[in-house]
A and B are shown apart, each in its own frame.
Chain A
Amino acid sequence: MFEPHISVQNLNIAYGERQVLKDITVDIPRNRITAIIGPSGCGKSTLLKSMNRLIELADGVKISGKVLVDGVNVFDKGIDVTDLRKKMGLIAQTPNPLPMSIYDNVAYGPRIHGTNDKNNLDKRVEQCLQAAGLWDEVKDRLKDPASRLSAGQQQRLCLARALAIKPEVLLCDEPTSALDPISSQCIEEQLIKLSKNYTIVFVTHILRQARRLADHVIFLYLGELVEQGPAEKVFSKPDNPRTKAYIEGVFG
């Protein structure tokens, strides 16, 4: 079908006694937008965060199965998790700026990974803020604390920050759920522009957003994979009756 950028195979994740993901096998296509949809609490965020192993930070989490990125299992012993995360940018549900200036927020990633030359950093910061659609609004106040931005601006800052580490994948966990409609639209436009060069995986419980953005869809329900496939197919002629019911708003 297609050569997946990320391939999840038989992934099982449990928090203590609670099984959150059951035997998930999905493929994520390269340089496309993939939406993970499903009602709240069905493991969508967990699936997303397992791709950059952020899920390991939670207490008492048990993981089994594989997540292959370009054919390499991220859970392998020899894998340097900080390198892996460099390949994946994550944008969280509520904007989470670091306690620094706007400039430093974007520069944090590159600095950590060794870029210290001021010129390079300046260029990188500007590029990323442009790509996130925030440059014009902040170019005169790069040294201001990031906390002074509005929620919509902060989320775009988080997008710029994620882009700054030159990832191949952008993971977005309900990136607009905390934002007003105008800011949401802004983020969505940026994601569409970026999808030419990045593999984007985003979680949403807003079906209309998925319809607007997705090339590829994964439907999770109660921790299980119900269906995955190209967006037109899943939205107009889904194979699984449960998918049909969810899309028509019967539940969720």
Chain B
Amino acid sequence: MNKRKVEESFFKMLMLLSTGLVVGGLLVVFAIVILKGAPALSLSMLTQTPKGGYYLGKEGGILNAIIGSIYVAGGATAIGLLLSLAIVLYIHGYGERSRISSFTRLSLDVLWGVPSIVYGVFLFTMMLALRARASLLFGIITVTLFELPIITRAIDEVMKMVPAKLKEASYSLGSTRFETVRHVMTRQALPGILTAVLLAFGRGIGDAASVLFTAGYTDSIPRSLFDPVATLPLAIFFQLGTPIPEVQQRAYASGIILLFIVLLLSVTSRLATRKLMKYVIK
């Protein structure tokens, strides 16, 4: 019996160590970025676009990147959501047992893990063929395709968990398939859908490789879909790459801003999900 107890205590200790390592890792990441970046964080960082000698240490901020990222990720998530909902609508409303549904599920599942750089390269190739320049439009398209498998799978999973009796109830009241999915299933799945959207938005806004070739970079805020656009991850990357310490510090500060946005999304998603749960049937 002692041997069994010893083994259990040993592994329990390992488990606590591991958990501590993971939690500690998270805290260390936050701590270092915030500590290093806080000195350079200022209001002008948030509210101004880079002025003349910004990359040499002079004034300005990264408003171009902040707005740019919101445009790109926002647009991509919106379109991605629309497409995903359409796909899920088909799979759950019209083609439940059809081969197209299972094929699409498989296809998107396979796409799910594809690295964002592959999307970037792929779209870039298309852009070359169309003789298009890097722009907001292509940035959005790239991130949309990148987010599509993520959103679709997440919503699909939530829809799968909607109890069959809810669908039956809706149909027995004479609803069409569209109405059933749109009004009943989506309501039930709403918390999950919201989480999926915010998760995807977070991934979209934080990803660099997808926009590296396709969105370009600029110091101004784009005024049309065909202007190039700056994104936060690239802003951080480029500022880090300069030899000037003040600019590098600004990179850390930009990192804080990006972290903060992600944190905000996470907290919002949790709160909003909790609020939406009241209509959900268990």
Contacts and interface: CB of A to CB of B under 8 A. Distances in A.
Task: Please say whether the chains A and B touch (CB closer than 8 A).
Answer: yes
B267 interface: no
A80 B4 CA distance: 12
Q: Interface extent on A, as a size class?
A: under 10
A140 interface: no
A82 B4 CA distance: 11
Contacts of B4: 82, 112
Interface in B180-226: none
Nearest to A80: B1
Interface in B1-60: 1, 4
A83 interface: yes
B11 to A, nearest CB: 16
Interface residues of B, number: 2
Interface string A72-102: 0000000010110000000000000000000
Contacts, number: 5
Contacts of A112: 4
A112 B3 CA distance: 11
A61 B84 CA distance: 45
Contacts of B1: 80, 82-83
A80 B1 CA distance: 9
Nearest to A112: B4
A64 B4 CA distance: 29
A77 to B, nearest CB: 15
B45 to A, nearest CB: 48
Nearest to B3: A114
Contacts of A83: 1
A83 B4 CA distance: 12
A155 B239 CA distance: 68
A103 B257 CA distance: 59
A83 B5 CA distance: 12
A42 B4 CA distance: 37
Interface string A111-128: 010000000000000000
Nearest to B1: A80
A80 B8 CA distance: 14
Contacts of A82: 1, 4
A114 to B, nearest CB: 9
A82 B3 CA distance: 13
Interface in A149-195: none
Contacts of A80: 1
Interface string A6-46: 00000000000000000000000000000000000000000
B5 to A, nearest CB: 9
A116 to B, nearest CB: 12
A81 B245 CA distance: 63
A134 to B, nearest CB: 29
B16 to A, nearest CB: 21
A51 B4 CA distance: 23
B4 to A, nearest CB: 8
A112 B4 CA distance: 9
Interface in B62-91: none
A5 to B, nearest CB: 23
B135 to A, nearest CB: 55
Interface in B221-254: none
A82 B8 CA distance: 13
Interface string B162-188: 000000000000000000000000000
A112 B7 CA distance: 13
Interface string A43-78: 000000000000000000000000000000000000
B9 to A, nearest CB: 14
B134 to A, nearest CB: 53
A217 B4 CA distance: 38
B190 to A, nearest CB: 28
A87 to B, nearest CB: 14
Interface of A: 80, 82-83, 112
5 contacts: A80-B1, A82-B1, A82-B4, A83-B1, A112-B4
Interface of B: 1, 4
Closest 5 CB pairs of A and B: A80-B1, A83-B1, A82-B1, A82-B4, A112-B4
